[in-house]
Structure 1
Amino acid sequence: MRSRPALFESDLTRQRIATGAGTFDAIATGPVTGRKVLLLHGVPECGIEWRHQLRALAAHGYRAVAPDLRGYSPGVRPKQVDGYRLEHAVQDVREIADALGWKRFDLVGHDWGAVVAWIAAARYPLRIRTLTAVSAPHPGALAQALRTDPDQQRRWSFLDHLRTPGVAERELLADDAAQLRAGWPSTIAPERVNQYVRRLTEPGALTAALNWYRANPLTTETFRPVSVPTRFLWGEDDRVIGPEAAQTTAGWATGPYWFEVMPGVGHFVPEEAAEQTTLHLLDHLATY
């Protein structure tokens, strides 16, 4: 049974969502009778990265929930690397919606949360009304770029050190997590970075976050196209995802599709360009 939400940052509430995989921590806001929106965060953030969008959604009458994904929620933190395969995370989306009593909902995702959202939207088109993907392209487009595009291969190779168990954790947490902190752009407030770092220094949390990379090579998997109305936001200054993967994502969308390039914005779009992201999200939802 879900516990009673507690007040959090005045207009947001904490919520616990019990599923077959375990209990997810989440942030919720907006009228319970409003149109439902589920927001999936990226690595290495947590649900609070959507705080700007959550508040705007609530103000427009939506019921919005942003869970801390598996590994970030202590109640869903498998010890085995295989526990972080995308198939499990996609199943989490369905189980979270079931636990919330949502028959149909809009799905939003950033980074790895967007990868999960792409797959979930392809798998559950009768339940997911619209998809808003941020930063991460369709995994099929990314997988192809990783096989054939030297630029994307170079960008992805910078993440190779994250896949070495134990070594990556020690390096990232050394000197008060200096290397970990350096991963966020200066546009994100230090107090927010401190909040993320505190979460990642919980026992097992950083290993869980890194296991998303270790469990999902992407290039060996088969993906389906997405048919639901989709809007994809990509920062032109993204150092992880190159233009090839971003541009070829259109070939993986068989329904209405909008691709927005955001100049001067890097990988952490929901926070680097919070207002723009929110406006795009609201416009997409209002359109469908």
Structure 2
Amino acid sequence: MAEYIQIPTPAGNFDALTSGPEDGRPVLLLHGFPEAAVEWSEQLAVLGGAECFAVAPDQRGYSPGVRPQNVADYKMDELVGDVLAIAEHFGWQRFDLVGHDWGAAVAWAVAAAHPDRVRTLTAVSIPHVDAFTKVIREDEDQQQRSAYMQALRASTAEKTLLADDARKLRAIYRPGGVPDHHLDDYVRRLTEPGALTAALNWYRAMKHNPEIGPVKVPTLYVWSTEDVAVGSAAAMATEQHVTGPYTFEMLQDVTHWIPEEAPDSLNRLLLRHLVAHQE
């Protein structure tokens, strides 16, 4: 069973779940929007059982102890800094990095900027940031899929999502394989004062985020065919932005919520990736 801890950093205390021996192979898992560390429950159990020390923090804005008010505090440089600060807390010189959705975007940026610190990268759902940005500009299908981002950046987004017992917030998780108890937990967290605004500020801060450049660490990218947010164009373009060993895996008939909807498939791919890159 995962253990709850708090991780002190210069930015504040991150809530986190951990599994496995503290002297095991370090693996850091970054959740997406609008979720929390609990999305990695199945992966934490498997990684801990494989003698890894797996850590899944509630990221900036999701942890009450790290919830700044300014939009600029959610730009990518700050999010990357949080990852490094968490690694420093544990004394990790190198670690394996796993991310889903926004967590994948952060993981891509960390791997690109700090390849000396990242042993392997596993990105789930969201493609390489530069590939995604380019395709959004040029591909009509992806433009339609990404139209929701503008709505999430609007000043009225909080009111819209939380109205009517958070009906539209709940709808984000559907259709998909998010368990009801996780969904209820996510909604409860995001209805706490300031929590949803902090989560939405990740989108509002996107204008501050530059290109990240190529990734040269061993990379596994997992995409699913029924992902309404990410089309095939960006998924296929990701390979052009990885100069290191690269593996692309496509899950058929799975939606955006891969860690919870297809945990067995993801766990198998993740463990195989870690075993293939021990050093």
Q: TM-score, normalised by structure 1?
A: 0.94
Q: Which residue does the alignment assign to 2:188? A: 198
Q: Which residue does the alignment assign to 1:158? A: 148
Alignment of 1:47-196 (within 5 A): 47-165=37-155, 167-184=156-173, 185-196=175-186
Work out the CA distance in 2 between the residues paired with 1:252 and 1:197.
35
Q: Which residue does the alignment assign to 1:237? A: 226
Question: What displacement does 1:171 show?
Answer: 1.0
Tell me, what secondary structure is at the counterpart of 2:68?
A: coil
The alignment-based identity, stated in percent, is 51
Supply the RMSD in Å over aligned alpha carbons: 1.1
Tell me, what secondary structure is at the counterpart of 2:34?
A: coil
Work out the CA distance in 1 between the residues paired with 2:182 and 2:10.
31
Question: What displacement does 1:195 show?
Answer: 0.5
Q: Which residue does the alignment assign to 2:261? A: 272
Tell me, what secondary structure is at the counterpart of 2:172?
A: coil
Deviations 1:97-146 (A, max 9, x none): 00111111100000010000001011111111000000000000001001
Question: What displacement does 1:186 show?
Answer: 4.7
Work out the CA distance in 2 between the residues paired with 1:215 and 1:189.
29
1:211 aligns with 2:201: yes
In structure 1, give the amino acid aligned to 2:95. Answer: F
Work out the CA distance in 2 between the residues paired with 1:274 and 1:239.
19
Q: Which residue does the alignment assign to 2:274? A: 285
In structure 2, give the amino acid aligned to 1:42. Answer: G
Tell me, what secondary structure is at the counterpart of 1:159?
A: helix
After superposing on structure 2, the runs of 4+ consecutive aligned residues of structure 1 that deviate more than 3 Å are none
Q: Which residue does the alignment assign to 1:228? A: 217
Work out the CA distance in 2 between the residues paired with 1:187 and 1:130.
27
1:23 aligns with 2:13: yes
Q: TM-score, normalised by structure 2?
A: 0.97
1:33 aligns with 2:58: no
Deviations 1:3-49 (A, max 9, x none): xxxxxxxx111111111111111001101111000000000000110
Structure 2 residues without counterparts, runs of 5 or longer: none
Work out the CA distance in 2 between the residues paired with 1:151 and 1:216.
21
Tell me, what secondary structure is at the counterpart of 1:212?
A: helix
Question: What displacement does 1:188 show?
Answer: 1.9
